[in-house]
Structure 1
Amino acid sequence: MGCVSTAETGRRAETVDTEAGPARITWLPAENAKNARLVLAVSHGAGGGIETRDLRALAAALPAHGVTVALVEQPWRVAGKKLAPAPKTLDAGWRGLWPALTAAGLPVVAGGRSAGARVACRTAAELGAHAVLALSFPLHPPGKPEKSRKDELLGSGVPTLVVQGGNDPFGRPAEFPPGKYEITEVPYGDHGFAVPKRSGLTEDQAMEILTAAVTAWLSTLA
């Protein structure tokens, strides 16, 4: 395990050995360390890394609200591979990271986008996550609503917020089943929360909707 700091408001990277290989956590600490109340650990999906617009927006917005953000890169991504491994390997990598995520002694909200959201849901109860943030939860493969992954979402066992694009082909908000979770829609957003110009909504406005919803929800967690 090792850490590298940068000059960006305490931002630092930490490498963590896991059963699935070395993973990496990029830490963005709460602006006032004395008022830090939560860690939000969020991982990427199967097709990209931590540079996505939603993860960048959360990392920029939440430290001002007493939330330390931990951007998690799974071992396959750290190794430079282009394809994500099987779900059980993703889960193994996430489990291996958990001690580092909880080391500060703060409640940890497990989160991720797409495949990362599935990992967070599948392991939340087992790991003792405080809550789950599911960004662009892939309720089903595009065009195949019969292949539902609702059981993963409904089985998280902890307070859960889904933030979903209104035009996400992996599951539009209206397709989600009833259950003990909250859902917020980013109007017109696709799976990556991109919005078409004809919508009248800018990317910045879409991210403001997302970050406002997440910030408000996190404030309700005891």
Structure 2
Amino acid sequence: MTRATRLEVPTAKGPGELVLERPSGTPRGVLLLGHGAGGAVDAPDLVAARDAALASGLLVARFTQPYRVAGRRAPAPAAQLDAAWLEAVGVVRGRRGLRHLPLVAGGRSSGARVACRTATAAGAVAVVALAFPVHPPGKPERSRLPELDGAGVPVLVVQGDRDPFGTPPDAPGRRVVVVPGADHALRRGEPVVADVVPGFLDAVLGT
């Protein structure tokens, strides 16, 4: 077990929280993960991504948005989520030895959207998107694909084939791994996350 370090992230809308966990050796990169709209950073698919990244030699930081720290389930507006996320990036970058390490952004559902929208501003080299919500259930006309398309960096998407939020198509710079029988919670998808994340990290980090 790795020892976790908890850090407060001051934001304009109250404090967020980071949980940092280091690999056994010197980290070769950082994976910053965000939670779903009403969820937490201990969601099974996020934990699977964390474990895979730690085993691959990355430091993992999981960020809880201020509205969740305050005990609210309804998410803040997108601009507030993005601003808080970038504050978290700044806190991670301010830690000793982490400033110049390559950053991979990621998250599940709402957290994946935030990671895609802010990838360029955060200086991320890639995005890991778990259960990206392509559209609200039953409303494919309200597509969020522009957020995914606009990430500007390589993206790994892991998506259940029964996800009512839809499944994005493969595209240049984007790999979509579909988990048979999994819904938006990616239940039963943890082994797939654990299997595909290390290879993706190796590819984007050049090792």
Tell which structure's C-alpha radius of gyration is larger: 1
**1:80 matches 2:71:** yes
Equivalent residue, structure 1, for 2:31: 40
Equivalent residue, structure 2, for 1:4: none
Q: 1:66 aligns with which of 57, 66, 77?
A: 57
**Count of aligned pairs:** 201
* Aligned residue identity for 1:21: G
Q: 2:195 aligns with which of 193, 197, 212?
A: 212
Does 1 or 2 have the higher relative contact order (CA < 8 Å, sep 6+)? 2
**1:50 matches 2:44:** no
Equivalent residue, structure 1, for 2:164: 169
* Aligned residue identity for 1:48: G
Q: 2:91 aligns with which of 100, 109, 114?
A: 100
Partners of 2:19 and 2:46 in 1: how far apart? 12
Partners of 1:191 and 1:179 in 2: how far apart? 24
Equivalent residue, structure 2, for 1:91: 82
Bigger mean CA offset, 50-59 vs 147-156: 50-59
The answer to whether the Cα contact below 8 Å between 1:20 and 1:92 also exists between their aligned partners in 2 is no
Matches within 5 A, 1:195-210: 203=188, 206-210=189-193
Partners of 1:101 and 1:178 in 2: how far apart? 30
The answer to whether the Cα contact below 8 Å between 2:2 and 2:23 also exists between their aligned partners in 1 is no
The answer to whether the Cα contact below 8 Å between 2:65 and 2:84 also exists between their aligned partners in 1 is yes
Question: Could you state the TM-score of these two structures normalised by the residue count of structure 2?
Answer: 0.92
User: Structure 2: any 5+ residue segments left out of the alignment?
Assistant: none
Equivalent residue, structure 1, for 2:144: 149
C-alpha root-mean-square deviation of aligned residues, in Å? 1.4
User: Structure 1: any 5+ residue segments left out of the alignment?
Assistant: 1-7, 195-202
* Aligned residue identity for 1:176: P
**Cα distance, 1:60 vs. partner?**
2.7
**Cα distance, 1:191 vs. partner?**
0.4
SS of residue in 2 equivalent to 1:120 = helix
Question: Could you state the TM-score of these two structures normalised by the residue count of structure 1?
Answer: 0.86
